[in-house]
Amino acid sequence: MKIMEIEGNRELSGTIRISGAKNATVALIPAAILTDEEATICNVPEITDTDALCAILNELNVDVKRASESIIINPKSMKNIEIAEKFSKKLRASYYFMGALLGKYKKAVMYFPGGCSIGARPIDLHLKGFEALGATVKNEKNKYIVEAKELHGANIYLDIASVGATINIMLAAVKAKGTTVIDNAAKEPEIVNVATFLNNMGARISGAGTSTIKIEGVETLHKCFHEVIPDRIEAGTYIIIGALCGKNLKVDNIIPEHVDSLLSKLEEIGTELEVGTDYVIISKSDTYKSTTIKTLVYPGFPTDLQQPFTVLLTQCNGKSKVTETIWENRFMHIPYLNDLGADITVKNQTATIIGPTKLTGTSVVATDLRAGAAMVAAGLLAEGTTTITNVEHILRGYEQIVEKLTSVGAKIKIREI
């Protein structure tokens, strides 16, 4: 088991370079099998979610070559075999193989995906989308068999603007006969990145990034080269850490527009920020005002930054509120923040934070990926040593977190126990 130890209360300055987006990468890797030719993807983060998807590609006999932040995927000799539970349970996004295999072979067999326990996380909208395209779905003891004689275009309205369902339907529809329209589609930047990748391979997708996406089916897809966009959640996490402990901390290689909702909130509470074309420079302020946030689909405040942002709210004067509207179980970090000295109560889907409170290091748990990021942010601020267990969750989504933070002055290490 790995544990992380942080000696907090140190000023952080220097530059942190943001890696490629996890949530784009985890869709781009399965999407690459839709062609029979080679796809080169660069700016791929070295995180364990990437490793887990490459392990699935290996199982499917896909040739994968990885070299410093690039990945070359060649599915020429690929076999469409069942994806075993030991692979699918490693991450939620393994479900993108359902859409990709269905799109390519008209058949996908895999187990229910895993991932962070932040809510019920059903996949009904994905499955309804596949059915609308002409597939049948059988579910036998957690195993899904999705197949079609032929996939045809359809008009699909998503009851919820789900990121996963939008991408999965795109993957299944890209080679279907005729035109598919997804209404109430999710608008997250990662969806645009995946649509661009597919279009680079010869797909005909328009409207990605808006709530109506049109996919005109094509027969074949060809080789391509593609770059993953910067990770807006990783960027947001380090920007929040900058507001907690930074002295001119530069968070570099970002698309500031992708973190607009966070930057607005930071300005509202009184953070000192310089926003450049592809960076943000941030310093800790002496006093912060309290605020309220409500998580929403993009471009609203991202649920994935709610947990790290709550740490910052412990340093704001007065009463702040966080309302989580996307996931029903995303306050598991709160008891640990209280153990560190925060004053937070949770009622229904709202956390009330009274601040400012002094945080002091203790033992805490990374209950899920972004709760883990919150623990890191809290540990960097807290006086004394914070020990975080279940670090595996953090390593699923943050490339070289120890190295990046050490390079700006943090005292942080991971050790095996």
Element (H, E) at 37: none
Nearest to 278 by CA among 307, 258, 306, 308: 258
Contact stretch for ligand UD1 (CB under 6 A) within 67-75, 119-127, 201-209, 267-275: 119-127
* Residue nearest ligand UD1 by beta-carbon distance: 164
Q: Which residues are catalytic?
A: 116
Comparison of 374 and 408: residue with beta carbon closer to ligand UD1: 374
Sheet strand arrangement including 279-283 = 12-17, 246-252, 279-283, 272-275
Please give the Cα distance from 337 to 289 (Å, whole number).
19
Comparison of 75 and 115: residue with beta carbon closer to ligand UD1: 115
**What is the CB neighbour count within 10 angstroms for residue 58?**
12
Instruction: Tell me: does residue 129 bind ligand UD1 (CB under 6 A).
Output: no
CA 298: distance to chain centroid? 13
Answer for which of 23, 306, 320, 386 binds ligand UD1 (CB under 6 A) is 23
Instruction: Tell me: does residue 117 bind ligand UD1 (CB under 6 A).
Output: no
Answer for which of 89, 121, 152, 247 binds ligand UD1 (CB under 6 A) is 121
Element (H, E) at 225: strand 224-227
Map residue 333 onto helix, strand or coil.
coil
Contact stretch for ligand UD1 (CB under 6 A) within 9-17, 52-60, 72-80, 117-125: 117-125
Nearest to 127 by CA among 169, 162, 167: 169
Comparison of 207 and 341: residue with beta carbon closer to ligand UD1: 207
Instruction: Tell me: does residue 326 bind ligand UD1 (CB under 6 A).
Output: yes
The DSSP 8-state label assigned to residue 210 in this structure reads B
Please give the Cα distance from 403 to 414 (Å, whole number).
10
Rg, C-alpha atoms of the chain: 21
Binding to ligand UD1 (CB under 6 A) within 143-172 occurs at 160, 162-165
Contact stretch for ligand UD1 (CB under 6 A) within 1-9, 115-123, 205-213, 286-294: 115-123
CB of 145 to ligand UD1, least distance (A): 18
Q: Is residue 381 within 8 Å of residue 245, measured between CB atoms? A: yes
The DSSP 8-state label assigned to residue 299 in this structure reads T
Place of tokens 């966080």: 322
Q: Which residues contact 279 (CB under 8 A, 6 or more apart)?
A: 250, 251, 252, 253, 254, 256
Instruction: Tell me: does residue 324 bind ligand UD1 (CB under 6 A).
Output: no
CB of 247 to ligand UD1, least distance (A): 30
Site string for ligand UD1, 179-218 (x = CB under 6 A): -------x--------------------------------
Instruction: Tell me: does residue 281 bind ligand UD1 (CB under 6 A).
Output: no
CB of 298 to ligand UD1, least distance (A): 7
The DSSP 8-state label assigned to residue 118 in this structure reads S
Instruction: Tell me: does residue 124 bind ligand UD1 (CB under 6 A).
Output: yes
Comparison of 129 and 246: residue with beta carbon closer to ligand UD1: 129
Number of residues that bind ligand UD1 (CB under 6 A): 22
Instruction: Tell me: does residue 125 bind ligand UD1 (CB under 6 A).
Output: yes
Comparison of 118 and 221: residue with beta carbon closer to ligand UD1: 118
Please give the Cα distance from 414 to 417 (Å, whole number).
10
Instruction: Tell me: does residue 93 bind ligand UD1 (CB under 6 A).
Output: yes
Instruction: Tell me: does residue 175 bind ligand UD1 (CB under 6 A).
Output: no
Q: Is residue 149 within 8 Å of residue 106, measured between CB atoms? A: yes
Strands (E), 26-160: 39-42, 63-67, 70-74, 107-111, 136-140, 143-147, 155-157
Place of tokens 């490793």: 51
Answer for which of 4, 12, 26, 137 binds ligand UD1 (CB under 6 A) is 26
Instruction: Tell me: does residue 123 bind ligand UD1 (CB under 6 A).
Output: yes
Binding footprint of ligand UD1 on the chain (CB under 6 A): 23, 26, 92-93, 119-126, 160, 162-165, 186, 303-304, 326-327
